[in-house]
């Protein structure tokens, strides 16, 4: 009896020692359960970076998607093909269109009961088939992806092209969409499983740890700023900050608030692949044109209008996943939300500027940072720069062109001057009508 107990003890100790020596397999789980878009693209990029950081042995991609943007799906599938560790797809329900492309890029595909894969025809935002150049590109990458992962390229191509006729697989006029059993039969699924954990049992790994990838707090904050309501508030701050800085130059706080709002607005869209470099350049150019119109060019004309169009246009386009003005795959709802968000923010800015400006200038905070005291004439103050002599009524000539500001010559001395808006050519006779301030106000001499 004692011998049996000793033997049992030794066997148990040997088993536990062996289990401790066996390294634990690290599995990172990525979950794509929405449309394929720039956000999903960034999520997959960050997820695979995280897999490298923790030295994950296997990555499992849980999919439930009807598809999405072709360019983002192509970047995701390229990233999967280039990843050095095994990536397994677990189709929890649907892997249609772009989802099918991503699944085929994985090393192995497993499907839950009732799932489907296929129907990869490229469609536009209204649901109709996209032009043939997009279909041709989708066919080629579906075919090459299937070849790279050892699957039938003809079947992968038939998921896109309804004109391909594969005997007993797809009839002409219908694209291929597989159920679980059909996908297993034709090599597009390894097995039907109920859970992600069943994959590990299927491949014979018992000692493992599944780590579900969660974006960092920073990326969650970035996602928060992609909310149209938050974007609208930031646009209001951008426009309002620029306006109040122009009204009270030198204060600094309004333009600082505007710059911070610009950073918070554009950074999330840029990181998620929505805002492109040319859209940022267009916004900056619009601000420059508005500044030139206000400070340099008299009146309000082409520069100012162009600046407003560029500024508002870039704010709208930054929210949309367009490819150099190609809106084939941009949903109309997204366009509507982007335009309404920007216009409502503009309207809100106008209301704040109209009714909030007075309150701001009368507030205690503003009084501390701005000079609000007035210097009345009754108290001995004078706005004239030419003390001891009046320049009103003196005649001279334009030393430079006045449009409306420039320089004039009176009695052999040069003075800064400006008109009431009229242009005066060089050499024309002028007469001074006001000498308040540092420049003389003049008009053409009769």
Domain ranges of the chain: 18-214, 218-369, 380-444
Q: Residue 358's pLDDT is what?
A: 54
Q: Is the omega angle on the peptide bond into residue 404 within 30 degrees of 0, that is, cis?
A: yes
Per-residue pLDDT tens over the stretch 325-380: 666 666 676 778 788 888 888 888 778 766 655 555 565 655 555 555 555 555 54
Strand partners of residue 58: 27
Distance CA 51, CA 54 (A): 5
Domain 380-444, CATH: 2.40.50.140
3-state secondary structure of 28: strand
What is the phi/psi pair of residue 179, to 5°? Answer: -80, 180
Distance CA 92, CA 375 (A): 76
Distance CA 79, CA 50 (A): 13
Burial class (CB in 10 A: 0-12, 13-18, 19+), 96: buried
| Cβ atoms of residues 268 and 226 within 8 Å | yes
pTM for the model: 0.64
Q: Residue 83's pLDDT is what?
A: 94
- Helix orientation angle between 98-105 and 132-148, rounded to the nearest 10 degrees: 20
pLDDT per 10-residue tile (average), the chain, 446 residues: 51 51 85 86 91 94 90 91 95 92 96 92 72 85 94 92 77 83 94 94 92 82 76 85 70 80 86 80 87 70 83 86 66 77 83 64 56 54 60 89 86 87 87 83 87
- Tokens read off for 428: 């024309």
Burial class (CB in 10 A: 0-12, 13-18, 19+), 226: middle
Which parts of 310-401 are beta strand (E)?
A: 395-398
Distance, C-alpha 88 to centroid of its chain: 30
Cα angle 417, 423, 425 (rounded to 5 degrees) comes to 85
Q: Residue 293's pLDDT is what?
A: 76
Q: Residue 143's pLDDT is what?
A: 94
Query: Was domain 18-214 assigned CATH 3.90.226.10?
Result: yes
Taking only Cα atoms into account, the Rg of the chain, rounded to an integer number of angstroms, comes to: 35
Domains 18-214 and 380-444 share a fold: no
């Amino acid at each position: 009896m004692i011998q049996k107990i000793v033997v049992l003890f030794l066997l148990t100790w040997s088993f536990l020692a062996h289990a401790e020596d066996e390294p634990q397999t690290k599995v990172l789980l990525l979950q794509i359960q929405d449309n394929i878009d720039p956000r999903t693209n960034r999520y997959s990029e960050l997820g695979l970076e995280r897999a490298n950081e923790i030295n994950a042995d296997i990555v499992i991609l849980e999919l439930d998607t009807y598809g999405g943007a072709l360019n983002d799906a192509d970047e995701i599938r390229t990233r999967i093909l280039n990843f050095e560790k095994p990536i397994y797809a677990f189709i929890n329900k649907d892997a249609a269109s772009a989802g099918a492309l991503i699944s085929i890029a994985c090393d192995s595909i497993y499907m839950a009961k009732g799932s489907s894969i296929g129907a990869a025809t490229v469609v536009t935002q209204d649901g109709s088939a996209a032009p043939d150049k997009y279909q041709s590109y989708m066919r080629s990458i579906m075919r090459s992806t299937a070849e790279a992962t050892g699957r039938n390229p003809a079947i992968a191509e038939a998921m896109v092209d309804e004109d391909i006729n594969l005997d007993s697989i797809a009839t002409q006029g219908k694209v291929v969409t597989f159920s679980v059993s059909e996908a297993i039969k034709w090599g597009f699924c390894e097995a039907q499983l109920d859970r992600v954990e069943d994959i590990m049992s299927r491949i014979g790994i018992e000692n493992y740890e599944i780590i579900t990838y969660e974006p960092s707090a920073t990326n969650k904050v970035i996602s928060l700023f992609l909310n149209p309501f938050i974007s609208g508030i930031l646009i209001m701050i951008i426009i309002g900050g620029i306006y109040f800085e122009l009204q009270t130059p030198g204060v600094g706080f309004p333009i600082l608030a505007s710059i911070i709002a610009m950073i918070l607005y554009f950074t999330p869209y840029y990181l998620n692949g929505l805002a492109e470099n040319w859209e940022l350049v267009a916004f900056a150019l619009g601000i420059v044109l508005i500044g030139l119109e206000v400070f340099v060019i008299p009146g309000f004309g082409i520069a100012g209008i162009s600046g407003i169009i560029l500024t508002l246009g870039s704010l709208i386009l930054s929210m949309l996943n367009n490819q150099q003005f190609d809106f084939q795959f941009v949903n109309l709802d997204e366009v509507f939300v982007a335009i309404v968000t920007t216009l409502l923010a503009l309207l809100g800015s106008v209301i704040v500027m109209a009714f909030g400006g007075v309150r701001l200038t009368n507030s205690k905070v503003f009084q501390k940072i701005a000079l609000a005291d007035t210097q009345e004439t009754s108290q001995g103050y004078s706005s004239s720069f030419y003390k001891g002599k009046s320049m009103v009524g003196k005649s001279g000539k334009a030393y430079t062109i006045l449009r409306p500001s420039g320089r004039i010559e009176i009695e052999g001395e040069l003075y800064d001057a400006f008109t009431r808006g009229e242009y005066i050519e060089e050499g024309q006779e002028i007469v001074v009508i006001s000498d308040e301030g540092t420049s003389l106000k003049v008009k053409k001499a009769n």
